[in-house]
Amino acid sequence: MNFSNLSEIAQYIVSEGKGILAADESNPTCKKRFDTISVECTEENRRNYRELLFTSEGMKENIGGVILFDETIRQHSESGKSLLELILDKGALPGIKVDKGLQPFNGSDLETLTQGLDDLDGRCSEYSGLGAKFTKWRVVININENLPTQECIDANMESLANYAKIAQKYGMVPIVEPEVLINGDHSIEDCYDATSRSIKSLFNYLSTNNVDISGTILKPNMVTPGTDHTNKATVEEVAQATIKCLKENVPAELPGITFLSGGQTEIESTQHLDMMNKIGGFSWKLSFSYGRALQASALSAWLGKKENISAAQSAFSHRAKMNKLASLGKWSESLEE
């Protein structure tokens, strides 16, 4: 696959309803997932699990990009092929997570600032050489009493803009991920406010940094009430609030918005995405960049056993297909049976 510019790469990833498989769990996060199915988190098991995802039939036509972890971009399959090649064989592009996690912001217990800018230039140069076509950097915004502070929002969005500029310098599309966490008892209005302030600040910094918006992808949360809030929002309320927030803050030249699932169930994240695309009325592609919401059923089916690979691949392929349909506004609950 040859691309003449960043915009073409970004557009390819979200073309025809395709989305992104987030397979960039750090080893500690991977251990938490594997603990739920009583599988040891060894390098071999991590490789085997990701290989089963990347060789699934459902990768074709449904997945446009795969976000990898540093370990995974260097791994080879049992047959000796690099995992990167397996992804390309299915028509998807390999990408890489480049942030280095969270540190407390100004000594706060609740606010954080994402790390990793210090040596990012050198790492992006290497990843580009290894074949990565896009990158991802996540910042985290917490909602609490008097939080988030604008100071914390701005510091994180400036870091996203600095990262994006470096990624583009090495010919890779930056995925910018400002995640307003779903944890807490905040209302949908609180989430709307924090998400709106974050995205507005982000695009201000991207503009100041002369980042090519047509060669960038946004990976935001959906606008939902917190998990502990007394009132659960309807699917339509989440969809309407999310679209309104994006329309107010995201420039039209952005090619795609690929949502994170952020603690939603597999079905919830598909339902919400589908409803947004059924409502329509926006210029960008609205798609998915899911981790758990693409993998939960596959992980439960696999259980670390070779004889379960086919069942795990079927479970993953089904979710990939459902989310592609949701990206086109063509999903319905009857298709889940």
What's the pLDDT score for residue 65? 99
Q: What is the total residue count of the chain? A: 337
Domains of the chain: 6-326 (3.20.20.70)
Give the integer Cα–Cα distance in Å for 86 and 227.
37
Instruction: Give yes or no for residue 329 having a pLDDT over 90.
Output: yes
Q: Is the pLDDT of residue 1 over 90?
A: no
What is the rounded average pLDDT for all residues in the chain?
A: 98
Check whether the bond before 148 is cis (ω within 30° of 0): yes
The pLDDT, as a whole number, for residue 337 is 83
Q: What is the pLDDT of residues 113-133, one digit of tens each?
A: 999 999 999 999 999 999 999
- Give the count of beta carbons closer than 10 Å to the beta carbon of residue 287: 27
pLDDT tens column, 77-114: 989 999 999 999 999 999 999 999 999 999 999 999 99
Provide the annotated active-site residues: 177, 219
Residue 333 has pLDDT above 90, yes or no: yes
